Every structure is written in C-alpha cells, then in structure tokens.
Structure 1
Amino acid sequence: MRKLSILLALTAASPAMAASKNPFSAYFWSFGNTDLIVAIAFFVFIGVLFYFKVPAMIGGMLDNRADTIKSELDEARALREEAQKVLADYERKQKEVQEQANRIIEAAKEEAAEAAVQAKADIKTSIARRLAAAEDRIASAEASAVKEVRDSAIVVAVAAARDVVAKQMTAASGNQLIDDAISQVESKLH
C-alpha cells in the first residue's frame, strides 16, 4: 500500500517536474523548483567570489607560484651550470695532474737510465783503476823479484869473484891493485 501511494505521488509530481524545465511556466519561477534554487545559489556564489576578488587572489597566487617555480628553475639552471663548470675544472685539473704524473714518470725513467749509464761508467772506471792498481802491484812485484834475483846474483857473483880473486891473488898483486886504485882516486879528485 505504501508503495502505491509513493507511486501516485511521483506521478502527480511529474507535471511539475516537467514544468520546472520550462522557463515560461509559473512553476519554474517558484521556490519549489530546486533547479531555480541551485541556479540562484550558483550565481550568488559566483558573485561572492567576485566581490571578495577570489579570482584575482587565485590568479595572484598562481602568478606567485609560477614566479617561485621560475626562480627555482633559474636557480637550478645556475646550479647546474656551476656544477658543470666545477666538473669541467676538476676534469681539467685531473688531466693536468695526469700529464704531470706522466712527465714525472718519464723524467724518473730518464734519470734511472742516466743513473744506470753513469753506474756502468763508474763500474768501468773502478775496474780500470783496480786493473791499473793490480798491474802496478804486479810490476812492483816483478821489479822486487828482479831486484832480489839481481841482489842474489850479485851476492853470488861477489862471493864467486872473491873466491876466484882470493885463489889467484898474491900479496904482490894485491899491493899493486891497491896502488892502482889510489892513483885512480887521486887523478879523479884533482
């Protein structure tokens, strides 16, 4: 039963609803028409927004936000450019340091090669000096040995000559030799 009464009420309201869509009907302009009330509220709301300058405030806020974003983008660009400059500077410095390290390595290699050449020359000089010293010692030893042999030969010759002279010498021939030696010394001194 209740369903029937709701159905009858809806069918009775249908002509009013149909009339609410027609602006030339009397029901359209009454406060029972919710479409009219919603339209009036909408226009009042729009009026209040314009009265309090909400669109200008929203536009200003959007402009401020756009300016903030633009300044942040400009700052980001500036930071990016600065970072690129710093990166380029570090890359340049790294390249210079690498070149300097290469030059140091090359200089060290050259110095090592020169030191090796100098060491070889020093070794050759040292060997030559040692050979010369050894040759001098050998020559000295030879001279010493020759002198010893001569001295021994002289001692042997003197002993042999003494023996020979002692066997052949008489007292008269000894006196004659002494007289001859004295006369030779006198002639050479005067």
Structure 2
Amino acid sequence: MNMFFEEGFFRLDSAELWVLVGLVLFLAICLFTGAFKMVGGALDAKAAKIQSELDEAARLRAEAEALLAQIRAEKAEAEAQAAEMLKSAEADARVMEAEAKAKLEETLKRRQELAERRIAQAEAQASAEVKAAAADLAARAAEQILTARVAGQTSDPLLDAAIAQIGTRLN
C-alpha cells in the first residue's frame, strides 16, 4: 500500500529512496532560490495581464453597446425626421396644388372675361360698321332721291315718309 512503510525502502541501494532524496533536494533548491516566488509572480503577472485584457474587453464591449444604442437612437430619430419631412412635403404639395388650382381658375376666369370683352367689342364694332354702312347707303339713296326730285320736281309722299324715318331709326 504505502511504500514508505515497506521493508527495504530506506536502504541506500533503493532507487525509490534516491528519487525521494532528489525530489526533496530539488524542492529545497527551488525554495532557496525563490523559484516558487518567481513562478507565483509569473502566474500572478499572467493573471493580472489576463484580468486587464478581460477588463479592457468588457470596457470595449460596454463602449460598443453604448455606441450601438446611440446609433439605434439616431436611426430612430432620423426615421422620425424623415416621416415628419414626408408629412410636411405632402402637406406642402396639397397647399401648392390648391394654390395652383386657384390661380388656374382665376387665370381662366380672366381669360374668359377678356374673350367676352373682345367679343362684345367686336359685336359693337360690327354693329357700328353695319350702322355706318346703312347710314351711308341711306344717305346715298336720299341723295339719289333728292337729286331725282329736284330734277323732276315731283313729290312722292311715301318716299318722303321713309326719308323722315331714316333719322330716327339710325340713332
């Protein structure tokens, strides 16, 4: 079972004894030279380095999460602004459409009134030209009749009545 209690273990020709002595000497030398402290210090330094790397990784992760949250908030804000701008643009378009429609109706109304005035002017001008032509024709007819009457000195009562009515009908 336990080899320390076996018979012959502590004899000088026992290999196990010399392995034990070598191990004890090795551990004593390591203890005397401070190898355990160096190994412990190296392990502590390695642990501290790993801990600082873990802390740095945690800090970077926290920064990344904060940046991600900020970017998401900015994205939401940008989407809200875009939606607001779209609503505003649609409202502006409706206002502009209404204004354009009102301006178009006003322009059409003015053009219609202008056309009606031109038509009325043309009618008045045509009427005046017809009256002038009728007056000229009546004057020429009266002149011819008067010329014939003076030449013949005969009087026609029907013709005299028509000539008298010309002046009242032309005005």
TM-score after normalising by structure 1: 0.69
Whichever residue aligns with residue 71 of structure 1, its letter is S
**Structure 2 SS opposite 1:142:** helix
Between 1 and 2, higher relative CO (CA 8 Å, sep ≥ 6) is seen in 2
Counterpart Cα distance in 1 of 2:128 and 2:23: 145
**Aligned residue for 2:105?**
124
**Aligned residue for 1:162?**
143
- 2:39 paired residue among 58, 81, 87: 58
Stretches of structure 1 lacking an aligned partner (at least 5 in a row): 1-17, 171-190
Give aligned-pair identity as a percent. Answer: 32
- 1:100 paired residue among 81, 98, 113: 81
Structure 1 outlier segments of 4+, above 3 Å: 163-170
What RMSD, in angstroms, separates the aligned Cα atoms of the two structures?
A: 2.2
Cα 1:28–1:146 shift into 2, 3 Å: closer
* 1:48 and 2:33 are equivalent in the alignment: no
Rg larger in structure: 1
**Aligned residue for 2:64?**
83
Whichever residue aligns with residue 21 of structure 1, its letter is E
Aligned residues: 148
Counterpart Cα distance in 2 of 1:50 and 1:131: 117
More moved, 82-91 vs 105-114: 105-114
- Offset at 1:138? 0.5
Stretches of structure 2 lacking an aligned partner (at least 5 in a row): 152-171
**Structure 1 SS opposite 2:142:** helix
Counterpart Cα distance in 2 of 1:28 and 1:42: 15
- Offset at 1:21? 2.1
